[in-house]
Amino acid sequence: MVSKHTIEKVVTWYKRGYDTQLIAHHLGLDVRAVQDILRQAAQAATRPAPPAGKPEPPEFSDRPLWGGERP
């Protein structure tokens, strides 16, 4: 598990032009972990932002939540 601070360092250093191997070496991480962090950051950047204001209503089901008859 990597802390939020470490994730921010990885992304910042990568944007500044540091190589993934160098970032991994300086932070004591595996190169694959650095690549995963960068991949997840890129996916988060391309996700559409949730609409401002009201949240979406929850989905409801017509199935009863109980196993028997109603009292």
pLDDT tens digits in sequence order for the chain, 71 residues long: 789 999 999 999 999 999 999 999 999 999 999 999 999 999 988 887 777 887 777 787 777 667 766 65
pLDDT on residue 70: 62
* C-alpha–C-alpha distance, residues 61 and 71, integer Å: 20
* C-alpha–C-alpha distance, residues 19 and 35, integer Å: 10
Longest dimension (CA), the chain: 67
Count H helices and E strands in the chain, helices first.
3, 0
pLDDT on residue 65: 67
pLDDT on residue 56: 76
pLDDT on residue 30: 95
pLDDT on residue 48: 79
